[in-house]
Structure 1
Amino acid sequence: MATITEWQRNLPTRITMSRIFMVPLIVAAMWPNTLTWNIVAAVLFMAASSTDYFDGYYARKYKAVSNFGKFMDPIADKILVTSVLAMLLALGKIDAWMVIIILARDNFIGGIRSVAAADQIIIDAKPAGKWKTAMQMIAIPIVIIGNMEPYLPYLDKIGYGVLWVSVILSITSGIEYYLGFLKNRKSA
């Protein structure tokens, strides 16, 4: 069996941190709010989102799973998504309610995770949470790009609708996560 190098051991953390470092680039590309820059921002967002897969893949491949990585991975996701949602809100492309619900759910889950960790309770990810993330990763780049008349009419409305689906799944997954926490707490 090959020896894992220091570079391989640190690769997952570097990938996770790259997600955070890409946020200012994405937000800056969104600022002009022109089709060309919106496409650049959407591509950067998709690239940043893809790092969520690769950090986990390499952590498992190189047996480099760390507490820091477990802690930073969801934080990097939240920094990416909330920063972009805040910018979309500032540009008038989404509703404040979407951002409020998503942020409230994420903070609520963060609190539950903290309590669960203190009680040494592990709560598995729920399907609704995975679907919520998938819907966000599909919807957000579409909403960033916006209207592409006459090439792709209603693209912005499709992205907006898919983002509302992710909001509903946010609520659903928040409830599932809380119920899972209560169930695991009783059995612990």
Structure 2
Amino acid sequence: MATTEATQSQGLSIASWANAITTARLLLSPVMFWVIPNHQRGAWIACLLWFVLCFSDFIDGYVARRRGPTAAGAFLDPLADKVLILGAMFTLVSTDVFWVVPVVIIAARELIISVYRVLVSGKGISVPASKIAKYKTFAQQLAVGFALLPWTALDATWLWKGLLWTAVVLALISGAQYLSHARNPQ
């Protein structure tokens, strides 16, 4: 009985190492958005900060799986991902690195799926990230990372542009999967 209560208490708790890492990632995101346009295209500091913030996403997921996820973490982690990735992408749009069209497609998908998740969560339904959505996030992280990496920012634009469009395709596929599942839950 005590184990069940402790597990339930941990599931509702906001104070956890994973949530602390996620919160730090969320709070450091504006620094990332400031660093990108304030350094020349392909800057090591921007690339290094991006790597640290993206790697922290892996770390908080690992910690959450080892210590048990929390309801707060289930909300905070995707929020931090969206703020960080979309913020970096729109910052790259504002500096004429990324084209606005793929970024708007990705942002629209994120908005639609986020609204869907909020609506179904009111009915007690949880919508975990699909494998394709996880690949989409990774493709987005790589696209931004390679757009910031000095070795590829100017000399291998095909690499990060290809990753950006790969992220668009994965965003559309995963979004369609979520919405299809919403129509035909099984």
Specify which of 142, 146, 151 is matched with residue 142 of structure 1. Answer: 146
Which of 91, 94, 99 is matched with 1:95 structurally? 99
Structure 1 residues 32 and 67: alpha-carbon distance in aligned structure 2, compared to 1, 3 A threshold:
same
Name the stretch that deviates more: 10-19 or 125-134: 125-134
The percentage of aligned residue pairs carrying the same residue is 25
Residue segments in structure 2 that go unaligned for 5+ positions in a row: 1-9
2:38 alignment counterpart = 32
Match of 1:3 in 2: none
Residue 20 of structure 1: aligned partner = 26
Deviation per CA, 1:126-183, whole angstroms, max 9, x where unpaired?
Answer: 232121111111111111236x48xx97322211111111011111111011112222
1:58 to 1:68, Cα distance in 2 relative to 1, 3 A: same
CA contact (8 A) 2:41 2:148 kept: no
Asked if the contact 1:16–1:51 (Cα under 8 Å) also holds between the matched residues in 2, the reply is yes
Deviation per CA, 1:42-85, whole angstroms, max 9, x where unpaired? 1111111112221122123223x221111111000011011101
**TM-score, normalized by length of structure 1?**
0.83
Instruction: Report the counterpart of residue 131 of structure 1 in structure 2.
Output: 135
User: What amino acid maps onto 2:160 in structure 1?
Assistant: G
Give the TM-score taking structure 2 as reference length. Answer: 0.84
Question: Which residues in structure 2 correspond to 1:1-188 (within 5 Å)?
Answer: 10-34=16-40, 38-63=43-68, 65-145=69-149, 148=151, 154-184=155-185, 187=186
* Number of positions where the alignment pairs a residue of Structure 1 with one of Structure 2: 174
Q: For 1:15 and 1:129, locate their aligned partners in 2 and report how far apart those are by CA, in whole Å.
A: 21
Which digits, 9 at most, give the CA deviation of each residue in 1:72-124, with x for residues without a partner?
A: 11000011011101110011011111121111000000011012212222334
Aligned partners of 2:131 and 2:16: how far apart in 1? 29
RMSD over equivalenced CA pairs, Å:
2.3
Q: 8 Å contact 1:145–1:156 — kept in the other structure?
A: no
Partners of 1:22 and 1:44 within 8 A in 2? no
Structure 1: 5+ residue runs without aligned partners? Answer: 1-5
